[in-house]
Structure 1
């Protein structure tokens, strides 16, 4: 999803109902959802379709039940819109605020933390990085953007 998804979703499903018309999200392994909280702080929500889990990763450890519930409701409404054989219900997807995650100690690295949450989770790696890794991650991200491909 892009950075405009959550603000649009929070205004109602109707605002995002056409966003997935060319892709069946229920065939995806994971859906990454960047969250810009109050236009000042970046977090990452990850919908893991194989585990029926929606997790919210915040480097300041601030829960966001509003976004978690909106994402779960989006999945339910999307399952009805796609006329799945068995549409989802509230009990089908668990939501969690991930608590055992690396924490930032400044006010400028939340975007890098969010990107790294996404990268580590999608690569099935433990979240073993910390604030001290941020300068290296910034250089890595710059290199990947410049080269047009992700490092392995």
Structure 2
């Protein structure tokens, strides 16, 4: 079932808070190991390309929500918001290491010294393509899929190929055996939201990954929602929490 459509604006008090956040200077917010400054938050103004700091902060919020849900599993069964999955979020630097250096040289085994990715539902990965385009990728253990979500519908076969290689090498390193890909598929759905410009890809990527972290199989946003989503992300980053309602 497709989620309900998004509103066009935040509640008035939250819109006021967003305006206030955009006028602050210095460090705007901290969460886990991430922080966002006034220069970073400006990337969420209209027509701006998101940087690593914003995407990694947002990813930390996604990961934190997932971890908190594991610690406090009781949820309201009548809630319209799907319970978050057990996810791990790799920072934007993971893909750079994987693509440019590979598993061994990039020392990617050390990235998971305290994490068993094979026990997770989904691994979420923001992907930077040549510093000109962001896409989302996922290793979906629940659905047995290597996934790519691109708001410009480019061919992302290389993303899927490298992530398959990563899964196998990680399994060999941690489990001392090749990974069994029986029943797995490569998944790059065509019917996903598309951008109509060259600068909103980071927002699309963050929203793809956030939706995936809740097990969504479809997305309730499109290009017309991006201005609202930019404002919502400012509020979420400023408050270091993801909204439970639009």
Compute the TM-score of the two structures, normalised by the length of structure 2. 0.58
- The CA RMSD measured in Å over matched residues stands at 1.5
Partner SS for 1:8:
helix
2:103 equivalent in structure 1:
13
Alignment of 1:66-145 (within 5 A): 66-83=158-175, 87-91=178-182, 93-125=184-216, 126-145=218-237
How many Å separate the matches in 1 of 2:201 and 2:128? 10
Compute the TM-score of the two structures, normalised by the length of structure 1. 0.92
How many Å separate the matches in 1 of 2:109 and 2:184? 19
Between structure 1 and structure 2, the one with the greater Rg is 2
Structure 1 residue 30: deviation in Å? 0.8
Structure 1 residue 26: deviation in Å? 0.6
Partner SS for 2:124:
strand
2:120 equivalent in structure 1:
28
How many Å separate the matches in 1 of 2:148 and 2:110? 24
Structure 1 residue 92: deviation in Å? 5.3
Partner SS for 2:110:
coil
Structure 1 residue 5: deviation in Å? 0.8
The structure whose RCO (Cα within 8 Å, separation 6+) is larger is 2
Gaps of 5+ in 1: none
Moved runs in structure 1, 4+ residues, more than 3 A?
89-93
How many Å separate the matches in 1 of 2:213 and 2:240? 19
Structure 1 residue 36: deviation in Å? 0.5
Considering fraction of residues, name the structure with more helix: 2
Partner SS for 1:43:
strand
How many Å separate the matches in 2 of 1:7 and 1:25? 19
Gaps of 5+ in 2: 1-89
